[in-house]
Amino acid sequence: MHWYFRVLSKYACFEGRASRREFWTFHIYDSIILILAIMADQYYGLAFKGIDIGMATLIYGLIRLIPIYAVIVRRLHDTGKSGWYYFIHLIPFAGPVLLLIAYLTPGNTGPNQYGPDPLTENEFQ
């Protein structure tokens, strides 16, 4: 849960680098919370007619929007790519695959143009 709150504490920080652990752990917790929000909408009858989401999901979705893009940009920075590389996902079929490969690729060892290596820093600061 530390990694989830670490990303939220860097709410709109698009500078620096994010390790694979920080990136993937955040997305796992984010997915779990999103599923719980959808279930809460269903259970309490907050879902909008015709779709499965409601107010809880909508509010959570808006809260997490900027941190998701910020951690994506920082993860791309860790692999030596610009944050603009994210838009490669707009290329049909190949784009999302290339982006997934970038997310799974180990980060650059040592400092790069985007900052120090997150694995050599004390990650619990």
Write the burial class of residue 114 (CB in 10 Å: 0-12 exposed, 13-18 middle, 19+ buried).
buried
Q: What is the mean pLDDT of the chain?
A: 92
Please report which confidence band the pLDDT of residue 85 belongs to, taking 50, 70 and 90 as the band edges.
very high
pLDDT digits over 87-99, tens only?
A: 999 999 999 999 9
Please report which confidence band the pLDDT of residue 122 belongs to, taking 50, 70 and 90 as the band edges.
low
pLDDT digits over 6-65, tens only?
A: 999 998 999 999 999 999 999 999 999 999 999 999 999 888 888 878 999 999 999 999
Judge contact between 83 and 76, C-beta under 8 A. Answer: yes
What is the distance between the alpha carbons of residues 108 and 116, in angstroms, rounded to a whole number? 10
pLDDT of residue 124: 47
The pTM of this model reads 0.89
